[in-house]
Structure formats: C-alpha cells, structure tokens
Amino acid sequence: DVLAHLSDTGLLRTQCYVGGQWIDASDGATLEVLDPSTGRSIARVPRCGANETRAAIAGAVAQFEPWAARPAKERSALLRRWYDAVVGARDDITRLMTLESGKPLAESRGEFDNGVASIEWFAEEAKRTCGDVLESPDRHRRFMVLKQPVGVVGAITPWNFPFSMITRKVSPALAAGCTVVLKPSELTPLTALALAELAERAGLPGGVLSVLTGDAPAIGDAMLKSEEVRKIGFTGSTAVGKQLAAGAAGTVKRVSLELGGNAPFIVFEDADLEKAATAVVASSHRNSGQTCICTNRVLVHERVHDAFVATLTAKVSALRLGSGLEQGVTQGPLISAAAVDRLEEKVADALSKGAVVAVGGQRPKWDAGHSLAGGFFYEPTVLTGARPDMRMFREELFGPVTPVYSFSSDDEAVQLANDTQYGLACYFYTKDLSRAWRVAERLQYGMVGINEVAITSEVAPFGGVKQSGLGREQSKYGLAEFQDIKTVCLGLY
Ligand code: ADP
C-alpha cells in the first residue's frame, strides 16, 4: 500500500537504525502505523525499549570522539551529502509524511522545504564555529574560550512535523560534533526511518545517528538514566517536557524543550481586516490546527469585530477537507480518534458557556461507504462569543477551531494575550508603528509576528518563555545549544 506511493521503495524502512545496523526489537514486538485519513494500518515498525536504546547510546558513545575530532569541514561535507540525498527524495518523503500524518501534500512540501533548509544551513554553519581570545587583566595569564560539542544527544520528536522537528535537532547537533540517538513519534516513524536510510546512503558513519521507534517512556527513561547522554532535545507536550526536565536533573543533562503554546492573534482596530483574516486562517488552520504556534485565541477590537468575523467565516467556509493526497484538499484529518474526542469536549465546554458556531462545529458527515468514513476528521470551525472562562482560553485546542474573543483597549488586549502559562508564539495586526513596538515589547512570548504569521526560518531563533520551553532551536543560537564553553587559561613564564 505505502510502496505504491514511492518511486524509491528502499525509503520504506520498517526496522530501526541502531549503531549502523538495521534491527528489529529484541522480542520482535511491533507497533502499528495508521493513516489518519482512513484509520487503517499502513505499516508496522519495531517496538523498541530500554535494551535497544542502550545499544544505540553505546554506538553514539563509540562514535562521539572520532566524530567530534573530525575537522568541521568534513562534518559539513557529510551533512551536505545528507542534504543532497534528502532533497533528491522530496517526492517520496513528502508522500510518506502525508500518509502517516494526514497533512495535505502542499503542507508536507512546505514542511519539507523548511526542514531541509535546516540541514543545509547547519552544514554551512558547522564551519563557522569560533571561540574567543580574551584580554587578560594581568601579565602572567592568557584566557581563551573554546566551543566544544556537548556529547551524546537524545532527541525526541513529535508527530505534527514528522520531518522538520528532526532536521532542526539532528543538523545542529551533528554540525557541532555531537552524536545523536533519535526517537521520533510512534505515530509518524516512517519519515524518520527514511531520513536514517538517507543518512546511511550519504555515508554518515553508523552510530553517529541512530533512530529508534517504540515504547516512548522506556526509551526516554533509558536516555535519562544514561550518564553518557549529555543533552535531551525535545519537542512535544508541556506535560512530557516537565517529566523529561525532572528526569534529566538526575545526571544534570542539558535540556532544550519546545513545548505547548496558546498563541493569541490580536486584530487591532486599524488592521487590514482582509489580510488579518487570511493570516488567522493560515495560522489557526495550518496542519488542521495541530502546531504549537497555531493561533489558539483570536482577540478582535470590538469596533471591527463583526466585519472581521464575517470575513473570517467566509474564508474558513472555503477550506476543503479530505485526504491529504488529493489535489485541492486544504485540510487533512487530526492525528487520532482521541484527538477528535478531546477537541469535541473543548468545543462542547465553550458552547455550554455561551459561544456560538459561525461555521463548522462538528465532525463531517461522510456517507457510511465513503473511503474517509473511518478517518479522524473535524470540520474547520469558527466560534464567536468566546470568553476567558472557557477551557479553550487556557488549553491548547490542537484542532481546526478558531475562537474569537473581543476587547476594547490595547491594555486589555495585552492583558488577555499574556493571561496564560504559555509563551511560545503570538501575532498581531496593526498599521501603527508605535503601537507595534510597544505591544511587541509587552507580549510575554518567545516569538512575535507583526503583520506576519510565517515566523519560522532556519536563520531565526525558535522557542518559548514561561511553560512553553527552554532554549532555542534554529539559527546561531540553536547551534550554541549543542556546544559547551571551555575556558582555557594559559600561564606564561
Ligand atoms: P503530543 O501531544 O504532541 O503527542 P507528546 O509529548 O505526547 O506530545 O509526544 C512528543 C514526543 O514525546 C513523542 O515522540 C512521544 O513518543 C514522546 N514521549 C511521550 N511520552 C514520553 C515519555 N514519558 N518519555 C519520553 N518520551 C515521551
């Protein structure tokens, strides 16, 4: 079934890549991979646990010194070869991404282009690491700062970006001279295993990058307990991120955490309503609302509220739900049946507290015989009359629902926007330059989009404040997260 979609069938790997070997779980256990648009199984992959993880860590430890000792130019060249191999496989990889995550092909291509840019950028950046020579306060000593790889890295990635969450961790880690054990989401392992296959073909030494699928807590625990894993790079829920941070304390590992968000999108009264509505749809309904930077709360000035809602509702009504493989489909399914159930509960809570459905608000009614009848779909939805006492004001929706709140002053908008434990991305639309600067400074978020929602780039730091995470990915700051600073003091005599 999956093979019929691939021109290079060797990219469908259903074993794990550990220390340069393709392996099954030692007890032969497997996990099922589902196509969320049909609910049907498309593949099985190994259900690895602690033993296989220890083997992967041992491989990464064995390769660490030789990999770190290679001139950065050589690491850069190998990363570039991986990049070339991955770029050559764009059509197959994007189809794998759509098959296992459900996102429309156009979104898979967007994620691919964004994600592959990280490999290219960090391949280049690998060569540009510089330390410092410091002016000494006295005659007898000189100080230098070296930047060295932190060591073996455990990377744990989610299903909503099966490709780019991997490249943005693995590329800077390898560029810095670290070796990596990667655990992708059990819901989207095929893309990750294809990346491992391409790394092998590109000539990356076995053990420099291992990819393990399986029992998340068992694999995570083995990473946390290892004294040799020196850093955990994680993207996922705040709940799991807290567990990992607590577990990492036992061996004082570094952690980079990209966790949940609760992005506000403020539409000020002077905003271009047409552009703002287009941006809300793009941000709120991207990947059917399943990204940590998706707009979760639209805050609209009361003076423009009704006009804005009319424009927004028309645009959301025009979205097309279906299989991500089908031409013209803009919205895929959610990742799982449980995700649809959770979304429904939050919508029911809002409706019980006075919200009103402007469009959507239910599961699509496919005919019983329809090929998508078993899929995990929910209609693109706009709710008006949303208020802070509703669950969706505080909790991530992670689905295609856009709640509209109303405000009457800049202060109120900023206060509502900041009234959350999260602090990842936020957005606002205005034409007033002073307001733009003032509001950007006051928003307690790691990333602010002003008249723009496409805020992700390999050159720009990505990450949150408050309970949205620690550390930054992408950019020179993302590379620094994989480097330790060593002070060398030279005595002169
Ligand atoms: P999401 O809600 O996006 O699925 P999760 O935090 O559950 O977020 O999952 C993100 C990643 O974390 C996935 O790869 C998942 O397998 C992994 N994960 C979940 N629980 C644990 C755990 N206890 N230890 C390590 N990794 C975990």
Q: What is the DSSP string of 412-473?
A: HHHHHHH-SS--SEEEEE-S-HHHHHHHHHHS--SEEEES------TTS-B--SGGGEES-B
Q: Please give the pLDDT value at position 285.
A: 98
Ligand 1 centroid to 236 CA: how many Å? Answer: 6
Q: How far apart are the first and last CA of the chain?
A: 73
**Is 31 touching ligand 1 by the criterion CB < 6 Å?**
no
Q: Please give the pLDDT value at position 368.
A: 85
Choose which residue among 34, 185, 253 to substitute to test ligand 1 binding: the one with the highest number of ligand atoms within 8 A of its C-beta.
185
Q: Answer yes or no: is pLDDT of 463 > 90.
A: yes
Ligand 1 centroid to 239 CA: how many Å? Answer: 9
DSSP bridge pairs for 210: 181
Residue type, 128: R
Ligand 1 centroid to 30 CA: how many Å? Answer: 18
Residues known to be catalytic: 258
Q: Answer yes or no: is pLDDT of 292 > 90.
A: yes
Alpha carbon distance 309, 286 (integer Å) = 19
List, for residues 340-372, the tens digit of each pLDDT value: 999 999 999 999 999 999 999 999 998 888 999
DSSP bridge pairs for 310: none
List, for residues 109-155, the tens digit of each pLDDT value: 999 999 999 999 999 999 999 999 999 999 999 999 999 999 999 99
Band the pLDDT of 101: cuts 50, 70, 90: very high
Give the residue from 199, 1, 213, 167 showing the smallest Cα distance to 96. 1
Q: Answer yes or no: is pLDDT of 300 > 90.
A: yes
- Rg of the chain in Å (alpha carbons): 23
Q: Please give the pLDDT value at position 236.
A: 98
Q: Answer yes or no: is pLDDT of 1 > 90.
A: no
Cβ proximity of 332 and 36 under 8 Å: yes
Query: Is the pTM above the cut of 0.90?
Result: yes
ipTM above 0.95, yes or no: yes
Query: By alpha-carbon position, which residue is closest to atom 19 of ligand 1?
Result: 216
Q: Which tokens is 358 given? A: 């402007």
List, for residues 238-268, the tens digit of each pLDDT value: 999 999 999 999 999 999 999 999 999 999 9
Band the pLDDT of 478: cuts 50, 70, 90: very high
Ligand 1 centroid to 309 CA: how many Å? Answer: 36
Give the residue from 339, 362, 342, 341 showing the smallest Cα distance to 101. 339
Point out the ligand 1 atom lying closest to the alpha carbon of residue 219: 25
Cβ proximity of 195 and 26 under 8 Å: no
Quote the longest CA-to-CA distance of the chain.
Answer: 86
Band the pLDDT of 169: cuts 50, 70, 90: very high
Alpha carbon distance 319, 317 (integer Å) = 6
